[in-house]
Structure 1
Amino acid sequence: MRTIQITTGGPSITHLAFADDMILFASGKPSDIRKVMKILTVYEDVSGQQVNKLKSCVAMAPKASVELIHRTRHLTGLHRKDWPIKCLGCPLFVGRMKIIYFSEMVHNITKRIHTWHARFLSKGGKIVLIKHVLLAMPVHLLAAMKPPKAPLSN
Structure 2
Amino acid sequence: MCTEALIAPLRKAKTDGNIQGMRISCASPRVSHLLFVDDSLFFCKADAHQSKEVIDIIRLYGEASGQEINFSKSSIMFGTDNATKIRQEIENIVGINQEGVMGTYLGLTVKIHGSKTQVFAFVRERLQSRVNTWTAKFLSEGGKEVLIKSQTQALPTYVMSYYLLLKAICTKLSSAIANFWWSPKADSRGIHWVA
After TM superposition, the score normalised by the length of structure 2 is 0.50
Structure 2 residue corresponding to 1:3, chosen from 8, 20, 24: 20
Taking the aligned partners of 1:4 and 1:112, their CA distance within structure 2 comes to 39
Length, aligned pairs only: 148
**2:32, 2:42 within 8 Å by CA — same for their partners in 1?**
yes
Q: Which has the higher contact order (CA 8 A, sep 6+)?
A: 1
Aligned to 1:16: 33
Shift of 1:56: 2.9
1:80 pairs with one of 71, 94, 99 = 99
Q: For residue 26 of structure 1, what is the amino acid of its counterpart?
A: C
The separation in 1 between residues aligned to 2:159 and 2:70, in whole angstroms, is 24
Query: Could you say which structure has the larger radius of gyration?
Result: 2
> How far did 1:62 drift?
1.0
Q: Deviations over 1:11-34 (max 9, x none)?
A: 2x2513242333322222222212
Return 5+ residue gaps in structure 1 as ranges: none
Instruction: Structure 2: state its 5+ residue gaps.
Output: 1-17, 173-195
Are 1:147 and 2:161 counterparts? no
Q: 1:34 aligns with which of 32, 38, 52?
A: 52
In the alignment, structure 1 residue 25 sits paired with structure 2 residue 43: yes
- Higher strand share goes to which structure? 1
Q: In the TM superposition, what are the counterparts of 1:49-68 in structure 2 within 5 Å?
A: 49-68=67-86
Q: Which has the higher helix share?
A: 2
Q: TM-score, normalised by structure 1?
A: 0.60
Distance 1:78 1:39, change over 3 A: farther
